[in-house]
Amino acid sequence: MQLLSHTFKVPDIAAAVEFCYQQGWTDGLPVVPPTQEAIERIIDYLGRDPKEVVGIVNPRNGIATIEKIAINCVMAGCLVEYVPIVIAALEAMLEEPFNLNGVQTTTHCCAPLVVVSGPAVKSLGFNTAEGALGHGSRANATIGRAVRLILWNIGGGLPGEPCKTTHGHPGYYSFCIAENEDVNPWEPLHVGLGFKAEETVVTVAAVESPHSIGTGAGYTSSDDVLFVIADAIATLGSNNLSGGDMVLALGPLASENLSKGGYSKQDVVRELMERAVRPVREVKRKHSIAPVSPFHWNKLVDPGDDEALVPFIRKPENLVILTTGGWGSLGGFAGLFPGWGSLGGLNQSKAVHFPKA
Amino acid sequence: MDILLFDPVGDIDLPERAEEKVLDTLKGKVVGYIFNQHNSSLVFWKHLEENVESALEPSSTLKVYKPNTWAPAPKDKIEQVIQETDFALVGVGA
């Protein structure tokens, strides 16, 4: 197989790891040395031309060929079966509403979160139990890592120049979660998005790190659970005051509480749209978006009416809900990932195309 | 035994750039503005436009204010600025 990338010779594994650092090919974590055999194993599995262009990755205008994607997946430690998921995530991030150029360069701390739903969650061994938003599985860790390395090496999302994120967050290293269908009382995420149940689907959204919500689901009413979640959503520091998307990862206990309380997923969205609000007298003290902006809350309510309520979820599709995580304590935890607002990073979904066996 | 490493950095897709033209003056020329409307730059930009128009005396102006500060201006608007102006000021506030 003819690969087109430049090559570099190093004497041993230790030197290879150091060489990757010296070349600026990684953002701080060590990487697996990208050797020809490992790269070709991925390309053989995919059955695609290494020169095939998947897209142009901003802000660097880097050309994401199958070969370059494969190299970065090797460096991340991906199994070959993970790579179609990485490619689907990249395709989703390249859709215009995602505004990848903005996501990669904003002063906000959003990073692309990869959410996987469908049969591959089980077959590839994603962690959807204890620690589902954190550590514990090669699939979560290395798929999220590959996406970051692609954004780094192909997209040029380097901190300082041009990436201006004020703080970033730990999810910049790796940011991939998956839905647990076994404990999800509602239709799977991807089915709700219009995909077939037998498909594996990747949804990406540019979001903050997860904010823990102790919903109290083990010992309280669904009404109170919704009240607590809504309160966590409607914070003035959130960019979702300008609309846009967010991801809510409910632990199984919280989902079970809401389902047994008679709420469908659509009901939960509707309730949170109504409840996650703040009055004008409070939101008018936040001045981050120009009043002339079409996303400013003054387009929704009368800015002269101090008691008018400003919603943080403007449309049902702004709220991506999945069930994942351990049963935990009676606290019934959830993880909320606020988004970048209406400015971009809007959730995009792509079916994963695994090569035919 | 040596190890051969492959470069993970993607080649760059360089867009074609038109030949640069030099203008001796903006007097009598058409000036375009593409402004991102960031909250921190509203006052500055207003003064900038006023000063450009009073000091440099363009014949007319074409103003494109981006609806989303953080996303590119609509392609048709960018094309309009390219086609209809002699000089464009692009403002990014953050």
| Confidence label for B16 from pLDDT (cuts 50, 70 and 90) | confident
- Helix axes A36-46 and A66-76, enclosed angle (nearest 10): 120
The C-alpha torsion from A204 through A205 and A206 to A207, rounded to 10°, is -120
Q: Which residue in A39, A68, A99 is closest to B70 by CB distance?
A: A99
Nearest to A129 by CA among A167, A178, A96: A178
**A225 plus A326 within the same structural domain:** yes
Nearest to A129 by CA among A322, A334, A324, A329: A324
Nearest to A350 by CA among A177, A157, A118, A182: A118
Least confident of A8-12, A148-152, B66-70: B66-70
Average pLDDT over residues A330-340: 96
Check B10 against A64: CB less than 8 A apart.
yes
How many domains does the structure of chain A reveal? 2
pLDDT at A356: 87
Using DSSP, state whether A278 is helix, strand or coil.
Answer: strand
The answer to the question of residue A148 being in a domain is yes
**A115 plus A197 within the same structural domain:** yes
**Cα–Cα distance, A305 to A225 (Å, whole number):** 29
Average pLDDT over residues A298-310: 97
Q: Half-sphere exposure (CA, 13 Å, Cβ side) for A315? A: 11
Q: Which residue in A33, A164, A292 is closest to B3 by CB distance?
A: A33
**A201 plus A269 within the same structural domain:** no
Beta bridge partners of A322: A249
Left if phi > 0, otherwise alpha if psi is -120 to 50, otherwise beta: which for B50? alpha
Q: Half-sphere exposure (CA, 13 Å, Cβ side) for A204? A: 31
pLDDT at B39: 85
**A199 plus A225 within the same structural domain:** no
Least confident of A70-79, A88-97, A175-184, A287-296: A287-296
Nearest to A183 by CA among A130, A120, A251: A251
Q: What is this structure's pTM? A: 0.94
Q: Which residue in A75, A287, A288 is closest to B8 by CB distance?
A: A75
pLDDT at A206: 98
Least confident of A28-32, A215-219, B58-62, B64-68: B64-68
Domain ranges of chain B: 30-91
Answer whether residue B94 shows pLDDT above 70: no
Residue B9 forms contact with A (CB below 8 Å): yes
**A271 plus A351 within the same structural domain:** no
Residue A12 forms contact with B (CB below 8 Å): yes
Enclosing domain of residue A356:
8-179+192-207+345-357
Token reading at A248: 């809510």
The answer to the question of residue A3 being in a domain is no
Using DSSP, state whether A82 is helix, strand or coil.
Answer: helix
The answer to the question of residue A198 being in a domain is yes
Write out pLDDT tens, residues A236-273. Answer: 999 999 999 999 999 999 999 999 999 999 999 999 99
Write out pLDDT tens, residues A196-211. Answer: 999 999 999 999 999 9
ipTM: 0.94
Write out pLDDT tens, residues A90-145. Answer: 999 999 999 999 999 999 999 999 999 999 999 999 999 999 999 999 999 999 99
Answer whether residue A67 shows pLDDT above 80: yes
The answer to the question of residue A54 being in a domain is yes
Residue B43 forms contact with A (CB below 8 Å): no
In chain A, what is the straight-line distance between the N-terminal and C-terminal CA atoms, in Å? 20
The answer to the question of residue A61 being in a domain is yes
**Closest Cα of chain A to B73: distance in Å?**
12
Nearest to A92 by CA among A161, A156, A151: A151
pLDDT at B18: 77
Residue A158 forms contact with B (CB below 8 Å): no
The answer to the question of residue A304 being in a domain is yes
Average pLDDT value for chain A: 97
Contacts of B7 in chain A (CB under 8 A): 5-8, 23, 25, 71
Beta bridge partners of A247: A320, A337
**A87 plus A229 within the same structural domain:** no
Write out pLDDT tens, residues B25-72. Answer: 999 999 999 999 888 888 999 999 999 999 999 999 999 999 888 888
Q: Answer whether A292's CB lies under 8 Å from A260's CB.
A: no
Q: Which residue in A12, A16, A287 is closest to B39 by CB distance?
A: A287
**A151 plus A266 within the same structural domain:** no
Residue B37 forms contact with A (CB below 8 Å): yes
Q: Which residue has the higher pLDDT, B42 or A167?
A: A167
